Structure 1
């Protein structure tokens, strides 16, 4: 059981990196669909507080959703392959 958890660590790290890239791409697309060019950075002087905070909230929601979906999918696949749930 410990060996399966240890073997899952690098897989989990790779899945996490992929999820981060996927979430970034999805956020950019969502922001463009909302009618904006680029998402504001917190230090963009020409952007309002509202724009910056809404962008941050949407980005966090997208990242959290994608990360949870990828982590859950990886754990489910690991259980199917090994018979144990990664801890």
Structure 2
């Protein structure tokens, strides 16, 4: 394993935590903006219908994937700018 890849591991873990928190905030704001309750439904929420649960899960997954990709890409680009090598 390359030294740059090993050195990037802790950075990648920290970026993963940051992206998870950021994605959660974006999802909550998007859910409210769509005119739904403040809290998105859980899959086991008995009072919510299938459609609402599946829409919430789809939106949440898309937001999490997009935010994670953006944060990971920014981290890799910043690493290349600092070290001159692409982590990976």
TM-score range, shorter chain: over 0.9
Q: TM-score, normalised by structure 1?
A: 0.96
Unaligned runs of 5+ in 1: none
Q: Which of structure 1's runs of 4+ aligned residues deviate more than 3 A?
A: none
Q: Deviations over 1:48-74 (max 9, x none)?
A: 000000000000000000000000000
Q: Deviations over 1:11-49 (max 9, x none)?
A: 000000000000001000000011111100000101000
When the two chains are superposed, the root-mean-square deviation of aligned CA atoms in Å is 1.1
Structure 1 segment 14-53 matched on structure 2, within 5 A: 14-37=14-37, 38-53=39-54
Unaligned runs of 5+ in 2: none
Cα distance, 1:4 vs structure 2 = 1.5
The number of residue pairs the alignment matches comes to: 87
Q: Do structure 1's residue 64 and structure 2's residue 65 form an aligned pair?
A: yes
